[in-house]
Structure 1
Amino acid sequence: MATSGKSVFLIGPGFIGREVLDLLLQENYAVTTLTRREAYATELQQSGAKTVLGSLDDQDIIVNQTLISDIVIHTATADHLPSVEGVIAGIDQRASQGKQTIFIHTSGTSLLSDDAKGEYKSDKIFYDDKPQDIDALPDSASHRLIDLAIIRARKRLGNSAKMVIMIPPLIYGANPKYKRLSIQLPTLSRFAMKHGYAGYVGKGESVWSEIHVVDLARGYLTLLHWLEQTDASKILENPYFFCENGQEFAWRDAVAQVAKALHAAGRIASPEPKPIPESDFDDLFGKYTAWVVGSNSRSRANRLRALGWEPKEKGLMASLVEDEVPILLEETGEFNGYASVAASGGS
């Protein structure tokens, strides 16, 4: 599909963003990405993107690049307020020049997560065509601080900007070209190889919705095309978009799949998973472990489906065995828990 050559600023060409970048380049968007490493910048340039060197904390760079971009897509993390404030500042300046900006920010359905700690499956399901239920979540909910900054900016800017929030559930999958992995289940898998057993929180009965990273990337493009074609006043009605494949998993079942694969590879003694004691949570997500890999988070992507998007990739269980565990088995080096901000970017 040819496009008008609109300029895109992509913040975070990582697990999600690299897949989005490929799709944008296929459709002839002029993409500039923010990256910290020169070696990765060279690889991105070879794929057809432009790059600016910098980090999420380089607010001036983010403001200036937003100023010269028609579209901004932030896929780096759901939990970095200064970078989002930089984008909004750039959008404000563009609005004062009479330029309208599209902004897609990535949050995550940890926003919806409860305090089940693996003990039960919740009946609560959130629908993205019922924004009032999402708006009713507490300001203290995961990712909500950053989402609220965007919602306030939407109200202030009105028709001068088209700003929405993509809220994916557990993301899985691996592109064999890039061998990048998501957060939650790979972390549980690394824990299993270190401790000699595959474990889950509580009874492992809590459930999450799921999405393959490639289906998610196509969801961003579906959303982008809708934003390009739709009047800003319509977009102001609802900022939220979920993206899930119609399947859900219980943590215990996903860990059991990991256990079978690691046992078959000779890396753990038993194919049977078991509960993880709290004393070992520091080797997962520290004090956030029970929420990151033990909560319920159930969502329905009614809005993307109404735009014609549908999931096409393999399911979670097949992906774990066929694609993700083989990459994990190749990893070397000591594992000491997930080092970044818990529940960001991959969830």
Structure 2
Amino acid sequence: MGFSVFLIGPGFIGGEVLDLILSENKHTITTLVRGESAVADFEKLGVKAVIGTLDDSQIITNQVAVSDVVFHTATADHLPSVQAVIDGVKQREKKGLQTIYIHTSGASLLGDNSEGNYKSDTVFDDENPAQIDALPDSAPHRLIDLAIVRARKELAGHSKMSIMIPPLIYGVSSREKRLSIQLPTITRYSLKHGYAGQVGKGLSVWSHVHVKDLARAYVILLHWMERTSTAEVLQNPYFFCENGQELSWGECSAEIGRILQKAGCFDESEPKTIPSSKFDDIFGDYTPVVAGSNSRNRANRLRKLGWAPSEKGTFASLAEDEIPLILKEDRVFGGYSKPVAS
């Protein structure tokens, strides 16, 4: 049976999810776009587009109210749009209609204050939701996640809600050739300043996943939620998605340095510490967490649902896919200023 699907954020992650849902050839799909110019492109794919931004709460609420499934892949840090989704789910709940909602958080949620100076022994397990719930409300993305955690209990009669928590995402999207955030930003910083940059000693570690493996995880999660009782879904809202590869920031910067040295961009590949005075050329005040913390996690729940990573690893993707595209960019890079999803 097909769903009516509403996708908020048809970009880097959402675009891949969209293509997979389209390939099932049985769902009606609507997405939120910012401008009229994008409408025709999505209509060619067989997707209805409504014009609006994340701040257009009424548009989002109205569309959720007529949708069986909602994906939010636009950002992990926009509470009004999440509240608008919840309001739409409440309207459906009053009519006795079931809704599946999958929200995107990010593994900065788990980040510590290591600032690149050590590898943590703490590994988060998505089969242990209490470990995640013990995180402080001040953790990145947590206030938004908590809005969903609370709503899912209130609306458990007909609604199923889950939170995907991706780690460091890498890879290039299929249709629009979009890039991820963390390692491309470090690459652009390195090109601008003439050395492979890292935060602190580069010892802190993150889990990784390719965007296409992540997109498949969303669809596997959707179909698990479809066939699973609301009571079972309610037991645990959290899903990690990692490919089994943990890398330190220093290892990633060293590989970026080797690739850029081979490309003739600079003479030495050895990483150097980024001074805090240059953080505005990375992620501003969030640099120590986004590009220097520890965030180790295990996607045990998805693996038990049959998900397994199949895409190339981080370093192969950097060398073959991402850095060649970055080297073709002609804009002046001045740091990453938008909200960081993961």
User: TM-score per shorter chain, which class?
Assistant: over 0.9
Aligned to 1:236: 234
Deviations along 1:63-116, one digit per CA (max 9) or x if unpaired, are 000011000000000000000000000000100011010000000110000000
Letter in 2 for 1:269: D
SS in 2 for 1:22: helix
In the alignment, is the contact (CA less than 8 A) between 1:165 and 1:239 conserved in 2?
Answer: yes
Distance 1:58 1:175 in 2: 27
Aligned to 2:296: 298
Pick aligned residue for 1:11 from 5, 8, 12: 8
| TM-align CA RMSD | 0.9
Distance 1:147 1:318 in 2: 33
Letter in 1 for 2:206: W
Aligned to 2:222: 224
SS in 2 for 1:317: helix
- Deviation of 1:160 after TM superposition, in Å, equals 1.7
Distance 2:115 2:283 in 1: 13
Alignment of 1:51-130 (within 5 A): 51-130=49-128
In the alignment, is the contact (CA less than 8 A) between 1:11 and 1:34 conserved in 2?
Answer: yes
In the alignment, is the contact (CA less than 8 A) between 2:76 and 2:141 conserved in 1?
Answer: yes
| Structure 2 portions without partners, runs of 5+ | none
SS in 1 for 2:308: coil
Letter in 2 for 1:104: I
Letter in 2 for 1:45: E
- Deviation of 1:5 after TM superposition, in Å, equals 2.1
In the alignment, is the contact (CA less than 8 A) between 1:63 and 1:86 conserved in 2?
Answer: yes
Distance 2:203 2:304 in 1: 31
- Deviation of 1:159 after TM superposition, in Å, equals 2.5
In the alignment, is the contact (CA less than 8 A) between 1:67 and 1:93 conserved in 2?
Answer: yes
In the alignment, is the contact (CA less than 8 A) between 2:30 and 2:49 conserved in 1?
Answer: yes
Distance 1:190 1:228 in 2: 41
Distance 2:174 2:220 in 1: 23
SS in 1 for 2:157: helix
**Where has structure 1 moved over 3 Å in runs of 4 or more?**
none
Aligned to 1:45: 43
SS in 1 for 2:156: helix
In the alignment, is the contact (CA less than 8 A) between 2:93 and 2:157 conserved in 1?
Answer: no
Pick aligned residue for 2:19 from 22, 38, 41: 22
1:274 pairs with 2:247: no
In the alignment, is the contact (CA less than 8 A) between 2:255 and 2:315 conserved in 1?
Answer: yes
| Structure 1 portions without partners, runs of 5+ | none
Distance 1:213 1:251 in 2: 19
Letter in 2 for 1:291: V
Letter in 2 for 1:14: G
Aligned to 2:180: 182
- Deviation of 1:118 after TM superposition, in Å, equals 0.2
In the alignment, is the contact (CA less than 8 A) between 2:15 and 2:173 conserved in 1?
Answer: no
- Deviation of 1:176 after TM superposition, in Å, equals 4.9
TM-score, normalised on structure 2?
A: 0.98
